A and B are shown apart, each in its own frame.
Chain A
Amino acid sequence: MKILTGNDLKSGAVVWWTGVGWSLDVNDSADVGDHGAAIIAREEGAQNVFAAYVVDGARTDEGVRPSHIKERIRALGPTVRPDLTLKPSDPEAVNWVI
């Protein structure tokens, strides 16, 4: 699947396109298929996000996972600071990154 990510303008936080809006949780990602460029143009034009781009991903039993480790770290947070990830209470959270 193709998933779409960008950064929130004010906070800089990593966000993922859900099909109707943006979420902090990669698991909410929608498959944008071939529509990534059009969504980026519209959403960046409306100042909703910036630095948006499409990445490869897959829907797994655990949720949506970007294909590349860089995007998985981007989706979760720094692997060396579990307390700052999206799953601070999950001691195993780092494992799905690697």
Chain B
Amino acid sequence: MYKYDEYDHQMVATRVEEFRDQVRRRISGELTEDQFKPLRLQNGLYLQLHAYMLRVAIPYGTLSGAQMHLLGDIADKYDRGYGHFTTRQNIQYNWIKLDQTPDALAELATVEMHAIQTSGNCIRNISSDQFAGAAADEIVDPRPYAELLRQWSSFHPEFLVLPRKFKICVIASETDRAAMRLHDIGIKIVRNDAGELGAQFYAGGGMGRTPMIAPMIRDFVPLDQLITFSEACLRVYNRYGRRDNKYKARIKILVHELGRDEYVRQVEEEFAHLLTQPIEPPLAELERIRAHFTDPAFDPSAPDDLDLSDPDFRLWVERNTTAHKQPGYVIATISLKPIGGIPGDASADQIRLMAQLGRDYSFDELRVTHAQNIVLPHVRKADLHTVWQALDGAGLATPNLDMVGDIIACPGLDYCSLANARSIPLAQKISQRFASPEKQAEIGELKVKISGCINACGHHHAGHIGILGVDKKGLENYQLSFGGSEGADTSLARITGPGFTEDGVVDAVEKATQVYLANKQGEERFLDTYRRIGMDPFKEAIYG
């Protein structure tokens, strides 16, 4: 894992003290709310429906045991005993007090964490593949490149006041587990025909009210030009992105309106110019960073077999573990989606337990996924039963990864001041409707994603089944859509038709699964069957 150097430490510590003084001035009345609001947002402090909310960055979703443990302690000490893991690999605390926020941030700084650039029109937390460094199918670990981009984008003076927020994702495998093409910039680390590593760039993706899949804008950028090319992409956006209309200010609108080819032309022109102004950090810096992401000391003689005689354990292994690149190890995903639970929420005790398991059984590493789950990336198969037992005892062993119960849901109207409808109760009802493991097994992979407003924090555009909550004359109403995917086969979901009440949409989801089961061929997933037979049979069942 990356460890802060003296500059990182000083940068974060200085920011904490600066914010402490700003909070003091706000409370004393020296600053009005209008003056203070942009300052608190730059430090991740929002005002939500019930209280202040603090969003803490988890760079590329990677955490140490100590960091995870402190997230639990922060939940107890400064909040109400729980945290909410988000679709941007961050954690949010919903009940933070203004006068205590500087102390919370100071504690986070002791474990090299902060809330800087988790809000505002700047480059946000760099996201990545939650299986980075462990996945059997990756070309390299993408995190050193994400870390380099994090350092470049932190306090970048030119990009702190962009037309709109900007999200970057880095992956390094064919299997996209991070919704890469639904980011403002998506970067895929690839090898060219000569075997050299480079970066494939995608630009102009995103969800929100105008969902777009990012087109590829360059198939190979040499690694010693990664930052320069990123700078060119941002410069063109910063120069021409619209600032007159926040709903048209994201880069996806610029790329769409200019056209991909014209955007590329301008980026290449800017890139050629920047190559004459040496701004690229030396490769030695990338090597320095890369040294922080070497493989842990895997045991080459670790046994590769598992005793699956316990049926509950077997089910969890089948559902929630993934092949590891190292024989004798697995990647274990902890579902934060218990039946009827709140997607992404974990109590302070659960957070600390996961931290302990990360320390004891996963080389002190944990990951946060964009699907609001937690990963133990390097678990010895010989330890897996022990890990599962500990998780099971804490209500963290729900065997439903990528199944209908593994629902992404934004906080919705229960917490969010932007929301139009509640997301969580709907997720709970769907989860309960499909509670039976047999039913879930019959349906197989089915990604349900729920957003409480058009901002799409719940990724409904990318759901095999997507649900969008809207306000219909003061009542909650839900639009249903099918056919989205955030994977390598990225697609945007299509709306089925008129919306539903909360109970109505749960019924509609069940009817959709019945259509799928009646029509599936072979090993088809719900998404495959939908793509083959189209919307009509589903509409007929839902509205007929």
Contact = CB atoms under 8 A, between A and B. Distances in A.
Interface in B267-303: none
Contact of A69 (B26, B80, B476): B476
Interface in B37-76: 47, 49-52
Contacts of B415: 78
B96 interface: yes
B50 A14 contact: yes
Contacts of B98: 9-12
Nearest to B415: A78
B414 A14 contact: no
Contacts of B419: 70
A55 interface: no
Given A11-B98, A44-B33, A51-B33, A79 B47 contact: no
Interface in B459-499: 474-476
Contacts of B29: 47
Contact of A14 (B51, B99, B428, B476): B51
Interface string A67-89: 11110011001111100100000
A12 B96 contact: yes
Contacts of B424: 78, 80
B51 A70 contact: no
Interface in A24-67: 44, 47, 50-51, 67
B92 to A, nearest CB: 13
Contacts of A79: 414, 422, 425
Contacts of A84: 80, 95
Contact of A73 (B80, B99, B414, B475): B414
Nearest to B98: A10
Interface residues of A, number: 23
A80 B414 contact: yes
Contact of B414 (A9, A13, A78): A78
A74 B49 contact: yes
A59 B92 CA distance: 35
Q: Say which size band chain B's interface belongs to.
A: 20 to 34
A23 B422 CA distance: 26
Contacts, number: 65
A78 to B, nearest CB: 4
Given A7-B47, A12-B47, A70 B413 contact: yes
A80 B97 contact: no
Contacts of B413: 69-70, 73
B474 A80 contact: no
B342 interface: yes
A16 to B, nearest CB: 13
B51 A69 contact: no
B27 interface: yes
Count chain B CB atoms within 10 A of each CB in A10, A51, A70 and give the residue with the most: A70
Contacts of A50: 33
Contact of B474 (A69, A77, A81): A69
Contact of B51 (A13, A47, A67, A80): A13
Contacts of A14: 49-51
A14 B279 CA distance: 48
A52 to B, nearest CB: 10
B97 A11 contact: yes
A10 B99 contact: yes
Nearest to A78: B414
Nearest to A80: B424
A45 to B, nearest CB: 9
A69 B27 CA distance: 31
A55 to B, nearest CB: 12
A80 B476 contact: no
Contacts of B96: 12
Contact of B49 (A10, A11, A70, A80): A70
A-B pairs with the 7 shortest C-beta distances?
Answer: A12-B52, A12-B51, A78-B414, A50-B33, A80-B424, A47-B29, A10-B99
25 contacts: A7-B47, A9-B27, A10-B97, A10-B99, A11-B97, A11-B98, A12-B47, A12-B50, A12-B51, A12-B52, A12-B98, A14-B49, A44-B33, A50-B33, A69-B413, A69-B476, A70-B413, A74-B49, A78-B414, A79-B422, A79-B425, A80-B342, A80-B422, A80-B424, A81-B342
Interface of B: 26-27, 29, 33, 47, 49-52, 80, 94-99, 342, 413-415, 419-420, 422, 424-425, 428, 474-476
